[in-house]
Amino acid sequence: MKEPKTNKSALAQTSPFPIGLNIDRAKGSYIYDVEGNAFLDFASGIAVSALGHGNTKITEAIKKQVDKHLHVMVYGEFHQKAQIELGTKLTSFLPNPLDQVYFVNSGTEANEGALKLAKRYTGLTEIISFKNSYHGSTHGSLSVSGNESKKFAFRPLLPDVKFIEFNDIEQLQEISEKTACVIMETIQGDAGVRIPSTEFMRALRIKCTETKTLLILDEIQCGMGRTGFMFAFQRFGIVPDILTLGKALGSGMPMGAFIAPFEIMNALSNNPPLGHITTFGGHPVACAAALAGLEILEEEEIIKNVENKGALLETLLQHVNIVELRRIGLLFAIELSSPTAVQKVVKYCHENGVLSFWFLSCPESFRVAPPLNISNSDIKKGAEIIVEALDRL
Ligand SMILES: Cc1ncc(COP(=O)(O)O)c(C=O)c1O
């Protein structure tokens, strides 16, 4: 029988200018195209492939689960070992009282669940978020995202959302007893890696506690070791009321989670029951992959080396054409003189075998976020190409 023709145009596009690499396979820190060209992955599929590609402990765990069972029931109805083991492992890394995990399919769904939970638990509707934030692309998450250029075409969005300046203590006055929740990326990712001060984070925690406002920290991009801590909030010595995770959590499989103390989370199970419903949330194969990923992070002590690897890359990237380099762990925003300069550098890197990427809300910077277990020699190799690109500006 003749092979059916592959028709790329059958796929919806998200923009008129996709990268368009023809992918064949991926292993370790490299992605290979159909012609056999190797690309050093300095983007990790946007902070997803924290353990690189094709890790056999992960693929074996996936295969084992595939042989046991796939989907058997909507989330929450059955006891599924894969979910229970992952929930137990994940909460073992979390401080008290974050002891209940609701597994979903994506980052944006985790934020949807968290926002609904905050409204249901507090009985309030006001939400405070931050300018330039990104929380996802579905209606609720988009409503609390701060980039107007991504929102204007989709109004009306959620009412009762206020935006305040990131890292500005005075603006915390906006939070009051009327506020259901504050949602914040612990480190703003798509705004170009913006790191708040410890003073700000502690003041935010105090203000939320005083007003009985739930603090939702979105660690979908910055969590799971990316900052050199399992969770970014740990570096500030605070604990959120609700934590949202995604991206790297699934070790390459689609998975998100929102996590809260039992007392809060339980509100979603009554009045009305089934306060959040998800058919595929906590898919057993995704859970098996995520559990293997957590075990690797723990056993191979990967997070311990994140800061050193980040510092090495930062040292190698010193260049006169860099206006500012913002970094936390292995998450970098490299700011250049203009968006055109960014496009030139990213293009040169792609053409020369290094994958970096843009930010949604920061056109004058480009993103570098390699796998957390990248080798030092690959860090040097990637840095050389970036420096070559910067030399050509
Ligand atoms: C901080 C943050 N929150 C939420 C999301 C949305 O995640 P997803 O694309 O899995 O829906 C993203 C995605 O980039 C993100 O960076």
Tens of pLDDT, residue by residue over 52-79, are 999 999 999 999 999 999 999 999 999 9
Integer angstrom CA distances of residue 204 from 180, 239, 286: 14, 11, 34
Residues 235, 96 share a domain: yes
Q: Which atom of ligand 1 is nearest to the CA of 360?
A: 14
Q: Decide which of 230, 264, 299 is a domain's last residue.
A: 299
Q: Is residue 1 part of a domain?
A: no
Residues 229, 366 share a domain: no
Residues 213, 202 share a domain: yes
Per-residue pLDDT band for 17 (boundaries 50, 70, 90) equals confident
Interval 205-233 mean pLDDT: 98
CATH number at 74 reads 3.40.640.10
Q: How many domains does the chain have?
A: 2
Residue pair 44/371 in contact (Cβ under 8 Å)? The answer is: yes
Contacts of residue 159, defined as CB under 8 A and 6 or more positions apart, other chains included, come to 125
pLDDT at residue number 118: 98
Q: Which atom of ligand 1 is nearest to the CA of 138?
A: 11
Q: Is residue 2 part of a domain?
A: no
**Ligand 1, residues 108, 138, 166, 186: which to mutate, most atoms within 8 A of Cβ?**
108
pLDDT at residue number 7: 64
pLDDT at residue number 6: 62
Q: Which of 57, 122, 76 is nearest to 300 (CA)?
A: 57
Q: Is residue 3 part of a domain?
A: no
Q: Which of 163, 245, 161, 171 is nearest to 204 (CA)?
A: 171
| Lowest mean pLDDT, pick from 11-25, 166-180, 254-268 | 11-25
Residues 72, 44 share a domain: no
Q: Which atom of ligand 1 is nearest to the CA of 141?
A: 4
Average pLDDT, the chain: 97
**pLDDT over 60 at 193, yes or no:** yes
Range of the domain at 189: 57-299
Residues 92, 46 share a domain: no
Residues 263, 114 share a domain: yes
Interval 326-341 mean pLDDT: 98
CATH number at 363 reads 3.90.1150.10
Residues 113, 70 share a domain: yes
Per-residue pLDDT band for 9 (boundaries 50, 70, 90) equals confident
Of the chain, the percentage scoring pLDDT greater than 90 comes to 96
Residues 208, 80 share a domain: yes
Q: What is the pLDDT of residues 28-61, one digit of tens each?
A: 999 999 999 999 999 999 999 999 999 999 999 9
Beta carbons within 10 angstroms of residue 132's beta carbon:
22
User: Distance, CA 85 to ligand 1 centroid (Å)?
Assistant: 25
pTM over 0.85: yes
Q: What is the pLDDT of residues 65-124, one digit of tens each?
A: 999 999 999 999 999 999 999 999 999 999 999 999 999 999 999 999 999 999 999 999
Q: Which of 191, 188, 163 is nearest to 175 (CA)?
A: 163
pLDDT at residue number 1: 53
d(CA 288, CA 296): 12
Q: What does the CA dihedral 307, 311, 313, 317 come to, rounded to 10 degrees?
A: 150
